[in-house]
Structure formats: structure tokens, C-alpha cells
Amino acid sequence: MESRTKDLLDQHMRENYRKTSRLFSILLGAQWVFGILLAVVISPRSWAGLASATHVHIYAAVFLGGAITSLPLFLTLTRPESQATRLVVGVAQMLWSALLIHLTGGRIETHFHVFGSLAFLAFYRDWKVLAVATVVVASDHLLRGIFWPESVYGIADPAWWRFLEHAAWVVFEDVVLVFACFRGIEEMRSIARQRAELEKTFAELERTHQIVTRTEKLAAVGQLAASVGHELRNPLTAIRNAHAYISKRVMKSDAASDARTVQFLGLQEREIHACNRIISDLLDFARERPLDLRPCPVRPLIEEAFSIVTGRDGVSLINEVPVDLPVPALDKGQFRQVLVNLIQNSVEAMPAGRAGTVRVTAAMDAGRWRIGVADDGAGIDPELHAKIFEPLFTTKSKGTGLGLAVVATMLKRHGCSITLQSEVGRGTRFEIELPAQTPSAAAA
Amino acid sequence: MARILLVDDEQSLRVTLAANLELEGMEVVEAESGERALELLRTTPFDLILSDIRMNGMSGAELFERAKELRPEIPVVLMTAFALEDVVRGALRNGVFAVLPKPFDVEHMSRTVRRALKRPAVLVVDDQEEQARATADALRKIGLRVEAISDGAAALRLMEDRAIDICIVDLVMPGMSGAEVVERLRKSRADITAIVVSDYAVPELMQRAAANGAFACLRKPIAADELAQVVAEARGRAAMR
């Protein structure tokens, strides 16, 4: 937030430098032309004592003016945002004031060019530019006042403190302008802050909107999946029945000697079973089953879950739940499903061919149960931590991506939370936290 | 030979299921609707009704209620492909033998059917005789076959030679505790499902009972219909996937 404000302010400042430099590039060019015209039209008359076809002032306007203009003009066009450019422009404007004052024979009205220039320079909102300009103009008045007073005051013997009087007016304007610079920056900063806040709010809104859209989409998909799942169950049951009948008859006939027939019958059964599981996962996820909360000892429940999980060679399942753990009230069927999915996930987190351990622990902590399922498998990339409980997210080539989503929704119904700690290459630990239960609901 | 009334409006499901039951040596009479099933019930004796819940016209749950009035002794097993929680719960609490969620394993289905055909009883074991009798009476009213006994050791003896498939046992009893009954039952009669109940919080006993395969632990007081529901759930328990 703070850094975004700073970025935005920085961006505005640079934009302002660029625009102001562009204006100055025009002004500098126009000043040069104006200076030459002034020399041509006015100077010979003002300095009529030495009449000549091409007065020295015309050369001064062309060449001196060119010398003053060329560097800042170059810089405003090539490096409009740089501070050096601003400072050079500040110096050049003051030198132009000096030249114009000289060309008009020290006319007091021409001194207004100094004030106009300072006001213009204040567009940069940089007090240093004003400071440098002030030093330049004060030095110019002091030095020329001493060595060539006609050039700056139009008279030959001004009082020695005349330059101080001019400088005082300049400082007076500076005070106003510096104040304006700071106020301008403050305004820019507050605009930047508001904009940063607006951006943040907008981003949050966008995120919320995405979540809402996603949730709605998921709900719709879930409903569709549930109704499709339900509708598939009847035909699947018929297929299963027919398959069971045919298998029995075939196995008693001559066809049982054909290896392929036997193999395909087994294949059919496995695939029917796989279809059934996918449908069950979908329905587990989409269906709001009411909870049947009953006292349910955790340790034996873990044993049950172990017996359901499809194990793998070399992966040992260890139940470390204490025998005397107080008994929570749970929906046994749903909570077992949660454990089965988590343990199955842990078993599959073991890299192929490597031995490993899945450890289930449980403890009471301030009236709450903490049940941990930990493995020493491949671990989960930190970037995926937020995603793994999302439905349809899977890293497996074969999987519905519903296992952990089912875990999340079922635990939510139980009022439980689940967290995970994982380190790539070291393993993953899921922890379920079951809230404290009133004595009437719990058994202990 | 056991005669089964199979009711389902989905023909493909009905004929394939009938074929499997016949293969098991049962006689199957098919009905394509609840109304047709009721007609058959009036004229023909059956040993079991196996019906789908969701059907056009009369639902399976409705058929169960009507059959209960007409032939209360016939056990009813319902099947469902749909999550009709309230309907299923209502049937379970009202004395249906079991509800099988589709798609079921044919083995599991025929095992449940054979179990129901035996018309097994529930045994209530509670050291407080009064309470044991009251529970038994309430369950009987719902339509279950029930016996009651007040001693763990006697209960084990009784279960050896009676057709009992569910044992509801109090955890805290003098002499043999409920947990011990469950433990012994597991060794001698693994086909009997135990449900333990308790007045008190006894985590160790609950733990022991659950570790020995008790289907559920319940805190007293328990409404009779809820108990009937747990009994039916235990009887219809699907083979773990």
C-alpha cells in the first residue's frame, strides 16, 4: 500500500517533469526568436549613439542567446525527467532574463521576466530549481551592478544596495512559490494515496467477484454432477448385476479355460468398481448429507480406515493414537471417509519404489482434538498449498481431484479445520482440529 | 425354497437382480410397481420383499408401510440409488430390515437377503432388567424381533443357539462388562454385530468395544426409533470399499 503510493507519486512527478520540460523547450525556442527580434527592432534605437547596420546586440541576441538556449533545449528534448535538466533550465531562464534586460537597456519592466520565469519554473515543483535560479539572478545583478550598471538598472550610478532590493523581491516570490511547490507535492501525494486505496479496493472486489463466480460455478457443476451420478447408479447396478450373473455362469462353463475371457471378466469388474468410486466421490462432494453424530473412539476408526486404504509395498501405516484419548462425537461414516482420503493421499505421496511411513497421531489440546496424518513422502510444492483442497485439482494422472475437496467439505460440516505443513522431499503433515464438544454430544 | 417379491420399475435392473437371486437358489416373483406388489402380497405367500425406493406411482417406502400392515412378519429390504435422506431415515426408523445403497455388490446384496430370510432377532443385554425389557418392548412395537437378558455371560450362551444377528449391550455391567461381551463375541460369533450403549462416559470401555468391532457406541437415553435405525444400518452395512 505505502510502496504503491510512493510508486504512483513518483510516476506523477515524472509525468509533471516531462510536461513542464516540453513547455520549456517551446518557451526557450520562442525566447530566442523574441530576443533576436528585440535586438533588431529595439536595440539600435535605444542605443542610438552608435548607429550601425548590424548592431552588436543583434550578434549578442543570436549567438549569446543561442549559447544560453542550446544546452537546456537539448536537455529538455532528450532528458525531460532528469533533475540536471531542471537545474540547467532554471539557470538558462535567469540568463535569458539578464540578456533581455540588457537588450532593453536595463528597462525596469523587463525585470518582470525574472518573476514570470520563476513562476514558470515553479511548475517543476522542485524548490532546488528556484534556489539555483535565485542565486544566478542575484549574482548577475550584483556583478553587473558593479561593473556595468546601465546594463541591468538602465542608469550609470545606482545605489550599492540596489541588487539587494531586487533580490529581496525575488526571495519574496520564492517564498510563495516554494510554499506552492510543497503544497502541490502534498496534493499529488494525497491523490496517489487515494488512487492506491482505490486500486486496492478494486483488486479486492475483483477477487471477491472471482470467488463468488467460482463458487457459483462449482455449485452448478456439483449439482449437475450429483444428478448425473445418481442417474448413472441405476444402469451401473444393472451392469454389475448382469456382470455378476454372467461371470458365475461363464466360470462354470468351458469358456473358463480361455485365459482372455477370465481376464476380461476381472477387468470388467475392476472398471465397474472404478466407475462406482468416481460416482461416490462426486456424490460425497456434492451432497449435503446430514451428520449422525455419535461417540466414536478414534483409534479403532483409524484401524478401520487403514483396512480400507489401498496400501502399497514398502509403505507402512502406523496408528499412534493413544488408547485413552477421550472419545469425540463424530459421524463415523463421513469421518472415516475423511481419514481414508487423507491416508490414501499420503500413501500415494510416496515416490514410486521408495519405502515410507504414514503416521496417524492424535492428542487433546485445551478441549480440542488434534488428529495428524503425516508422511515422509515427496511433499507438496508451497505454491500448491492453497489449491489442493479445491475441487477438480489434481496432480495425479489418474484421479478425479475430489479426494481432498471431499475432506474439506466433510470437515467443514463437522466444524473442523484442517491445516497442512509440507516440505518438498521431506513429507507432508495434515492436521485436523476438532472443536471442543459439549458433554452431552461427546462421550467423555 | 425362499420366495422373494422383487419390486422395481426399472426392468433392466429387475431382471438382472432376479437372475442373480435365482442363481442363489431363490424363487423370485417380479413386480414392476408398488401397486402390483400389493396385489401379489394379498394372494401369494412371500418370505421377503426386496424393493427399490424411488418408483413411479407408489414408492418403496410407501409399499413398506402398506406391507407392514398387511404382512407384518415379512422382512423388507429396500434399495436406493438416490440420496433420499429423509425417506431412508424414516424407513430405517420404522422397522425396515435394511437399506442397500446402489450400486451394490451382488454378494453383499445376497448376503443381506439371506440374513433377512433367517428373520434374526436382536438381543438386548442390560443388567437393569426393567430397562432391558422396556427397550425390547419398544423395538418390538416398531416391528423388530427382540429378546432381552440381564447378564453378559447368559447372553453369550443364548447367542450360541438362537438366530440372533445383533447384540445391543450395555457397557457398564456388574460381572461381565459390555466390552468383554463384545470381545468374546468377536472370537466365537463374528457374524453377530454388536452395538454398545452406556449411561456414563467410559472412554476405555468404548475404546475396547470399538477396537473389537462394535458397530456403534450410543449414549443413553436413546429413542427406540433411533436404536431401530442403527440396527437396520448395521444389517445393511456395505462391505467396505
Alpha-carbon distance of B231 to B237, in angstroms, equals: 10
Are A337 and A418 in a shared domain? yes
- Under an 8 A CB cutoff, do B19 and A241 touch? yes
- pTM for this one? 0.68
Are A258 and A214 in a shared domain? yes
In whole angstroms, what separates CA A246 from the centre of its chain? 61
The domain boundary, picked from A287, A318, A344, lies at A287
Is B218 at the interface with chain A, CB within 8 A? yes
- Under an 8 A CB cutoff, do A308 and B13 touch? no
- Rg from Cα positions in chain B: 18
A197 pLDDT higher than 50: yes
Chain A residues closer than 8 Å to B216 by CB: 294, 332
What DSSP letter does each residue of B67-110 carry, written as one string? HHHH-TTS-EEEEESS--HHHHHHHHHTT-SEEEESSPPHHHHH
Chain A residues closer than 8 Å to B203 by CB: 297, 324-327, 443-444
Cα nearest neighbour of A340 on chain B: B241
Looking at chain B from residue 105 to 144, which residues have their Cβ under 8 Å from any Cβ of chain A? 105-107
pLDDT in tens, A378-401: 888 888 887 888 877 777 766 777
Are A415 and A314 in a shared domain? yes
Are A281 and A324 in a shared domain? no
Alpha-carbon distance of A338 to A411, in angstroms, equals: 8
The domain boundary, picked from A260, A287, A314, lies at A287
Return the pLDDT at A45.
Answer: 52
- Under an 8 A CB cutoff, do B19 and A303 touch? no
Alpha-carbon distance of A107 to A397, in angstroms, equals: 89
Return the pLDDT at A43.
Answer: 59
The CATH number given to whatever domain includes residue A303 is 3.30.565.10
The domain boundary, picked from A287, A315, A334, lies at A287
**Mean pLDDT of all residues in A169-189:** 92
Chain A residues closer than 8 Å to B205 by CB: none
Q: Which of A397-401, A404-408, B50-54 has the lowest mean pLDDT?
A: A397-401
From B20, B216, B241, residue closest to A241, measured CB to CB: B20
pLDDT in tens, A151-168: 778 777 777 788 888 888
pLDDT in tens, A18-61: 999 999 999 999 998 888 888 777 655 554 555 555 667 777 77
Confirm whether A441 is domain-assigned: no
Domains in chain B with CATH codes? 3-117 (3.40.50.2300), 121-235 (3.40.50.2300)
Is B57 at the interface with chain A, CB within 8 A? no
Are A21 and A37 in a shared domain? yes
Looking at chain B from residue 161 to 200, which residues have their Cβ under 8 Å from any Cβ of chain A? 198
Range of the domain at A23: 1-287
A389 phi, psi to nearest 5 deg: -90, 0
Alpha-carbon distance of A327 to A288, in angstroms, equals: 25
Alpha-carbon distance of A265 to A435, in angstroms, equals: 48
Are A93 and A62 in a shared domain? yes
Cα nearest neighbour of A310 on chain B: B241
Are A364 and A229 in a shared domain? no
Of the pLDDT bands very low, low, confident and very high (cuts 50, 70, 90), residue B241 is very low
